[in-house]
């Protein structure tokens, strides 16, 4: 079945007999038992709910996994994955991470006894030198947030398998429509469903998708025990959003390509980070492992003053956190998504007071470029 068809018909199981085209929202905390020791398959919504199960079955099909779990947020999904590890374990992670992941690792996971080394995972030669006897996993974002570094997933998977490590890939930016890490050798895929999967900036969600039954069982146990489940109504919003995922992402990518090329020609723009540009250092790897470049652009301007003028001058484009929705959003990573990272560490990665991140929406590219032209010129 084609990906676009799976987005709409990825779960054929019916949960009622009304003929409803849209899956019902089973807004129930608990479910009655037919008899002693008997179950309908649903007992308590923290463990499972028909609306959420429908969503999970769709995500499982799209990523090609054996199980998918829907969480209340993307950070809840990552937090659950961290519960797979024990005090004394060591994880190697991308050094250009979403700020929330960095905050979780450094302020929660480390407190719980898990050690981390952060490295540019696009530099494969650096990885094996960091592996220790207690290393248990590699955690990769690709493309990274916000510097858009690209990691060769298949090559990292070979390293992981050689050393019997789990490979965890955050696939939020490209989604399974453009990139499928499990097929490239990853063991666990993570999503912030808030972003492209939901697609409308109206709900929070997170996902884990795995290719191993044992890992799935362990995550299900963590999930039902810690209770960070996605609600029935939010599950329904994600089901609805995913139905239009391919057409939204194709439009966002089309717009992003036009904007990235335009930015490259502007005098006040000193750097453009977009994986769809042939000049991007990860361009060839991205072409090999992904079918698209997505809608995320980071760019650096000539001064802090220019950056602030852009942020305060936009109107169609909105100055807001988050990404992946139909509305175009612009973000100041140093103050917003990465504000909790120490300044020296942040600056070393290029996340400075001149860097802006653009999540391109589905508006007219002409209108978006006209607005950028106006605010970049200082009008």
Predicted confidence (pLDDT) per residue in 38-67, tens digit = 999 999 999 999 999 999 999 999 999 999
Catalytic residue among 89, 96, 170, 234: 170
Q: State the angle between helix axes of 304-313 and 365-376 in degrees (0 to 180), rounded to the nearest 10.
A: 130
Catalytic residue among 52, 60, 136, 195: 195
Whole-angstrom distance, CA of residue 97 vs CA of residue 99: 6
Q: How confident is the model at residue 379 (pLDDT cuts 50, 70, 90)?
A: low
**From the DSSP assignment, how many helices (H) and strands (E) are in the chain?**
14, 12
* 302 among known catalytic residues: no
* 195 among known catalytic residues: yes
Q: Is the dihedral of CA 193, 195, 201, 204 positive or negative?
A: positive
What's the mean pLDDT when you consider all of the chain? 96
DSSP string, 319-364: E-S---SSS-EEE-TTTTTTTTS-HHHHHHTT--TTEEEEE--SS-
For the stretch 62-98, pLDDT in tens is: 999 999 999 999 999 999 999 999 999 999 999 999 9
Whether pLDDT at 350 is above 90: no
Whether pLDDT at 337 is above 80: no
For the stretch 231-263, pLDDT in tens is: 999 999 999 999 999 999 999 999 999 999 999
Cross-strand pairs, 189: 169, 209
Catalytic residue among 96, 98, 152, 346: 98
* 46 among known catalytic residues: yes
Whether pLDDT at 293 is above 80: yes
Q: How confident is the model at residue 274 (pLDDT cuts 50, 70, 90)?
A: very high
Tokens of 137: 């996993």
Catalytic residue among 15, 46, 220, 374: 46
Q: How confident is the model at residue 334 (pLDDT cuts 50, 70, 90)?
A: confident
- Looking up tokens 């290029």 gives 350
Which domains, from first to last, does the chain contain?
3-242 (3.40.640.10), 245-376 (3.90.1150.10)
DSSP 8-class letter at 99: H
Before 278, cis peptide (omega within 30)?
no
Return the percentage of the chain with pLDDT > 90, whole number.
92
pTM comes to 0.96
* 178 among known catalytic residues: no
């Amino acid at each position: 079945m084609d990906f676009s068809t799976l987005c709409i018909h990825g779960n054929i199981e019916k949960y009622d007999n009304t003929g409803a085209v849209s899956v019902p929202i089973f807004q129930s905390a608990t479910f009655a038992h037919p008899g002693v020791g008997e179950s309908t398959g649903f007992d308590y919504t923290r463990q499972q709910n028909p609306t959420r199960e429908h969503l999970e079955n769709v995500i499982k099909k799209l990523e090609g996994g054996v199980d998918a779990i829907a969480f209340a947020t993307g950070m809840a999904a990552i937090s659950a994955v961290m519960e797979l590890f024990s005090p004394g374990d060591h994880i190697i992670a991308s050094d250009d991470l979403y700020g929330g992941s960095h905050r979780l690792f450094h302020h929660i996971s480390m407190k719980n006894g898990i050690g981390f080394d952060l490295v540019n995972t696009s530099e494969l030669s650096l990885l094996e030198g960091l592996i220790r006897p207690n290393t248990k996993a590699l955690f990769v974002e690709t493309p990274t947030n916000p510097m858009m570094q690209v990691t060769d997933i298949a090559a990292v998977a070979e390293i992981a398998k050689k050393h019997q490590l789990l490979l965890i890939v955050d696939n939020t930016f490209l989604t399974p429509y453009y990139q499928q890490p499990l097929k490239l050798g990853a063991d666990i895929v993570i999503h912030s469903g808030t972003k492209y999967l939901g697609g409308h900036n109206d709900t929070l969600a997170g996902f884990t998708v795995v290719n191993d039954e044992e890992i799935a069982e362990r995550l299900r146990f963590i999930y039902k025990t810690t209770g960070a489940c996605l609600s029935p109504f939010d599950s329904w919003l994600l089901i609805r959003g995913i139905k239009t995922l391919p057409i939204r992402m194709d439009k966002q990518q089309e717009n992003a390509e036009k904007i990235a090329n335009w930015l490259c020609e502007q005098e006040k723009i000193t750097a453009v980070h977009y994986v769809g540009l042939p000049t991007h250092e990860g361009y060839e790897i991205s072409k090999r492992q992904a079918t698209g470049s997505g809608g995320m652009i980071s760019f650096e301007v000539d001064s802090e003053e220019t950056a602030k003028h852009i942020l305060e001058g936009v109107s169609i484009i909105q100055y807001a956190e988050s990404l992946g929705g139909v509305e175009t959003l612009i973000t100041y990573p140093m103050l917003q998504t990465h504000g909790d990272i120490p300044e020296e560490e942040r600056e070393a990665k290029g996340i400075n007071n001149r860097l802006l991140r653009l999540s391109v929406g589905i508006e007219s590219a002409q209108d978006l470029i006209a607005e950028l032209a106006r605010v970049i010129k200082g009008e």
